[in-house]
Structure 1
């Protein structure tokens, strides 16, 4: 019987919150931020847009953008095609403004997998998103 796992990865950026949100909202630079993503292409805009990625070593990822909320600086996506052993995958990326105006990103993943795979998927997702957030910060600091 599959189990649901929820995991949040948080990082404070040395970049203003508005710049962080603008980058996330754009939805198309994952190949720049995430070391394991080779290509990233987007079809459409806003809710309903599709994001297609290829990953190093082969494999594909497809995301459907579910919601972009500028007021709350929140983006939600579903991942119906994933290289991970999951039957459900949802990501929510939130940007908060710190007291000093800098961006704090909380990237929450919810996924469903077999019980014996949940811990390894969680570890893989945590590492990948942590690397991606570091890559995003470097990209934004060089802009």
Structure 2
């Protein structure tokens, strides 16, 4: 199963970054591209099992289910239920850790997915660079 990965150091304490990112429903507030995001049943955005609907350009839809949230590890993971990409069985992970020497936050975003052999390389780059790295760059600017 291919894995895509991106990381960044943010100029803010890990607890502050995590307090912001643990809201599974706020991705449209910080991620370039999505026009709106909401929790489908209107429930809390940190409830394991909740589904966020992210609407992007051209009315593209991503639906993702929060599969786990761990405040002690400052991480969550989710399953992609629907995406306008040729991927299957996709899972994403986001984790925030302290950089102990500087007081900054180290943020990692990665995912595993299945795709047809002809799509694997392109989808790996799309996820790593087009989604994860782009999102982390936006977070770095937000916490600058």
State TM-score, norm by structure 2.
0.89
3-state SS of paired residue (1:62) = strand
C-alpha contact (below 8 Å) 1:32/1:135 kept by paired residues: no
1:44 matched residue in structure 2: 43
C-alpha contact (below 8 Å) 2:5/2:132 kept by paired residues: no
| Alignment gaps of 5+ in structure 1 | none
| Alignment gaps of 5+ in structure 2 | none
CA apart distance, 1:17: 0.5
The 2-side partners of 1:35 and 1:108 are apart by 17
Aligned residues: 138
Q: 12, 20, 23: which is aligned to 2:20?
A: 23
CA apart distance, 1:41: 0.6
Q: 10, 24, 35: which is aligned to 1:13?
A: 10
Q: Which has the higher strand share?
A: 1
4+ long deviations beyond 4 Å:
none
> Deviations along 1:79-123, whole A, 9 cap, x unmatched?
111111011110011111102221101111101101110111111
State TM-score, norm by structure 1.
0.90
| CA-atom RMSD in angstroms | 1.3
3-state SS of paired residue (1:15) = coil
Give 1:105-124 correspondences, 5 Å limit: 105-124=107-126
CA apart distance, 1:44: 2.5
1:95 matched residue in structure 2: 96
The 1-side partners of 2:96 and 2:118 are apart by 32
**1:139 matched to 2:138:** no
CA apart distance, 1:138: 2.5
